[in-house]
Amino acid sequence: MKKIIRKLKKVNKFSRTIYFLLIAAYFISYIFFAKSIISLVGIETLIRYFVLILLFGYLCIYVYYGFFKLISKKFIGFYIMSLISVILIIVFCFGSNVIDMVYGKLADFNEKEKVMYTSYLITLDDTTLNAKSVFGMVDDKDDIEGYILANQIIKEHKLTQDIESYDDKNSDAYLEMLYDLYDKKIDGIFVSSNYVTLYSSEAGFENIANDTKIVYQTSGEFNNKDTSIKSDKSLTEPFTALIMGVDSNSNGLNANAAFNGDTLILATFNPHTLSATLLSIPRDTYVPIACRNNKYAKINSSAASGTSCVIDTIEQLLDIQIDYYAKINFKGVVELVDAVGGVEVEVQKPDYAINHGVDCKGMVCEQNSDRKWGQHTIYIKPGLQTLNGEEALAYARCRGLYVDSDFARNRHQQDLIIALAKKVIKLGSYNDFKDLLDAVSNNIATNMSVNQILSSYEILKGMVGNLINDEELVSIQKAKLETYTLNVYLPTYGTTTMAEGYYEDSLEDIIKTMKINLELEEPEYIKTFSYSVNEDYQAKIAGAGYRSEASNAVLKGFVSKTKAEAQKYCNDNGFECSFKYVDENSKYYDPDIESDLIVAQSPHEGELLNGIHDITFYINGATSEL
């Protein structure tokens, strides 16, 4: 040993220093690299561990043979091995940095444990508050913005006005409060800071941003309820994912409970076959809302009660469990699309020339990402082209230029999702990949864990294989829920709303298609088919063309009709009906309607038939009861 030490001392100090420094640097950088590599759960496990063993083996070789060459003064061999060590140290440092960056960005996709909520007390713009003013508040004590923070506003500003409570379990209490605010039955209401986004699409509240003003506001950090929505399913088995659009006015995703539910896209994906189904659920579809005792309302209204209410409502409608969800900030679409260098889309030719009073000049025109018209208006020519971020968002939002309105918008959003997915898989540089991760982490929130996201590696590998073989990345089958216009009377609000009923057989075909893709049902194989060479082949769209068995029906109106007509309707539908004659002293009497004709009815025309068993008709005439 002393002899070896003497030989080592005879080696020049520079070489000795390099030897020991490289051993230390290699070992430390290897530890960090190994830690990062091990974190990539589910990605080529055998290869990862084999590479780590080889790299550690090289360290052992360098320690032994480097020392031998050093004391033998075979400096050429020593410096070659040292150069290899330096290169590997650089690889370790860069590799661990990239992996940790990616892992951190993936972790940012997860819903935050704590999020900031904000509550407003709003009034109509021309309202002046006084001691006799009355404020509306939801009665749900778990509602952070509508109840907890609302009471904090009352305490902070020492408000002594009377409070009118609204039941949020049996109706959309916020919508009811807004109706009462506009009717001046109450003077102010406590609402989420997202109230403009939530209700500006409702009839009568299009100008809510200008009609109302914020009197008081407060914010607080609370536990995020959405973090309780978890799934233990791996992405290596068939799964479902719900995409929800959050239409905000700023970049980034403010992860509070209430959001705009105008965009709801349910996807199923089978990693075994690389096949997917996409269903855009029309925002006005009239369904039972799970978190409101199954009271019927437009499905987008469920978003006002948070993600769990949306998921429960859709699961109840489709009888399919939703494994994952992703909330996507619409304004962030600009950042996402620009990060991948634009997306190629066939822009549909508009049916109308005017959009919100703007002449589109034969093109698609829409507000920009800041919701501004005028010189900021986005114009897009019809046809196949590459859209930038602003153009893609404008196309995704546009519905006023098309005959089928929301359905056209849903199609366009599906087209953009597919185009974006195709572009992501073809990213060619580290900087492009990093820019995409930055954009995604800032504008998407999901309940997928990092390990679950990493398990998508096998899917991506299969998609890359398809790309190399010049095949479709994923086989995507679109679905369309056939609907019809439904004018529904809302007795709680005393108004009529235009909604969308759906056809049961259309929904059943969609459910069956999705369950087959999820391997929950066996497919029925088509053994024969025919086609004409004179007609373009159209891929089957699940649910399309099925138009029987309407899901909802509403009560017909019989004002100015005869008793015989009403009785026939009752007999045909199995209702118990009664008739009452009224005179001029009755609130139902109408001098403009002839005697012996129906002047009013209860329930009101347009109410859903679900739950109606008997009807009372009031007839102009004598004060006798039939």
Task: Look at residue 42 and tell me if it is in a domain.
Answer: yes
Task: Look at residue 212 and tell me if it is in a domain.
Answer: yes
Residue 512 confidence (pLDDT) above 80:
yes
Positive/negative CA dihedral, 94, 97, 100, 102: negative
Q: By C-alpha distance, which of 142, 549, 489 is closest to 296?
A: 489
Residue 406 and residue 325 share a domain = yes
Q: Which residue has the higher pLDDT, 4 or 506?
A: 506
Residue 118 and residue 42 share a domain = no
Q: What are phi and psi of 468, to 5 degrees?
A: -65, -35
222-261: pLDDT as tens digits: 888 777 788 888 888 899 999 988 766 555 555 554 566 7
CA neighbours within 13 Å on the CB side: how many for 595?
5
Task: Look at residue 552 and tell me if it is in a domain.
Answer: no
Tell me, what's the pLDDT at 538?
Answer: 59
How far is it, in rounded angstroms, from Cα 348 to Cα 581?
Answer: 57
Q: Which two tokens mark 429?
A: 């540089």
How far is it, in rounded angstroms, from Cα 147 to Cα 145?
Answer: 6
- Cβ-based neighbour number of residue 464 at 10 Å: 13
How far is it, in rounded angstroms, from Cα 591 to Cα 93?
Answer: 89
Residue 399 and residue 381 share a domain = yes
Pairing type for strands 239-246 and 324-329 reads parallel
Residue 473 and residue 344 share a domain = yes
How far is it, in rounded angstroms, from Cα 591 to Cα 610?
Answer: 33
Residue 387 and residue 277 share a domain = yes
Mean pLDDT of 42-63: 90
Tell me, what's the pLDDT at 624?
Answer: 45
412-454: pLDDT as tens digits: 988 898 888 888 877 767 777 777 788 777 788 888 888 888 8
How far is it, in rounded angstroms, from Cα 330 to Cα 299?
Answer: 19
Residue 23 and residue 84 share a domain = yes
Among the candidates 450, 485, 517, a domain finishes at 517
CATH number at residue 279: 3.40.630.190
Among the candidates 454, 485, 517, a domain finishes at 517
Number of structural domains in the chain: 4
Residue 136 and residue 104 share a domain = no
State the amino acid at position 409 in one-letter form: R
Asked whether the beta carbons of 295 and 171 are under 8 A apart, the reply is yes
Asked whether the beta carbons of 241 and 326 are under 8 A apart, the reply is yes
Task: Look at residue 374 and tell me if it is in a domain.
Answer: yes
Among the candidates 74, 108, 142, a domain finishes at 108
- Backbone region of residue 342 per phi and psi (left: phi > 0; alpha: psi in -120 to 50; beta: other values): left
The share of the chain scoring above pLDDT 90, in percent, equals 42
Residue 373 and residue 302 share a domain = yes
Q: Which two tokens mark 468?
A: 């190399």
Residue 586 and residue 496 share a domain = no
HEC string of 449-491 equals CHHHHHCCHHHHHHHHHHHHCCCCCCEEEEECCCEEEEEEEEC
Residue 81 and residue 127 share a domain = no
Owning domain of residue 614:
563-620
- Cβ-based neighbour number of residue 3 at 10 Å: 8
Tell me, what's the pLDDT at 418?
Answer: 84
264-273: pLDDT as tens digits: 999 999 988 8
Average per-residue pLDDT in the chain? 86
- Cβ-based neighbour number of residue 21 at 10 Å: 12
List the alpha helices (DSSP H) in 343-449.
389-397, 405-424, 430-443
Q: Which two tokens mark 495?
A: 């108004």
How far is it, in rounded angstroms, from Cα 279 to Cα 481?
Answer: 8
Residue 447 and residue 306 share a domain = yes
Residue 197 confidence (pLDDT) above 50:
yes
Which range is least confidently modeled, 35-49, 78-92, 118-132, 464-478?
A: 464-478
Asked whether the beta carbons of 284 and 298 are under 8 A apart, the reply is yes
Task: Look at residue 545 and tell me if it is in a domain.
Answer: no
How far is it, in rounded angstroms, from Cα 96 to Cα 535?
Answer: 56
State the amino acid at position 593 in one-letter form: I
Residue with tokens 């009462």: 180
Task: Look at residue 553 and tell me if it is in a domain.
Answer: no
62-84: pLDDT as tens digits: 988 887 777 777 778 888 989 99
- Cβ-based neighbour number of residue 290 at 10 Å: 20
CATH number at residue 160: 3.40.190.10
How far is it, in rounded angstroms, from Cα 578 to Cα 263?
Answer: 44
How far is it, in rounded angstroms, from Cα 121 to Cα 214?
Answer: 6
How far is it, in rounded angstroms, from Cα 199 to Cα 120?
Answer: 15
Task: Look at residue 232 and tell me if it is in a domain.
Answer: no
Residue 588 and residue 493 share a domain = no
Asked whether the beta carbons of 328 and 244 are under 8 A apart, the reply is yes
Tell me, what's the pLDDT at 529?
Answer: 57
Model confidence, pTM = 0.81
Tell me, what's the pLDDT at 626?
Answer: 41
State the amino acid at position 262 in one-letter form: D
Asked whether the beta carbons of 60 and 26 are under 8 A apart, the reply is no
- Out of 33-37, 305-309, 533-537, give the one with best mean pLDDT: 33-37
Asked whether the beta carbons of 382 and 372 are under 8 A apart, the reply is no
Residues 6+ apart with CB under 8 A from 197: 247, 248, 249, 259, 260
CATH number at residue 580: 3.30.10.20
Q: Which residue has the higher pLDDT, 622 or 142?
A: 142
Task: Look at residue 55 and tell me if it is in a domain.
Answer: yes
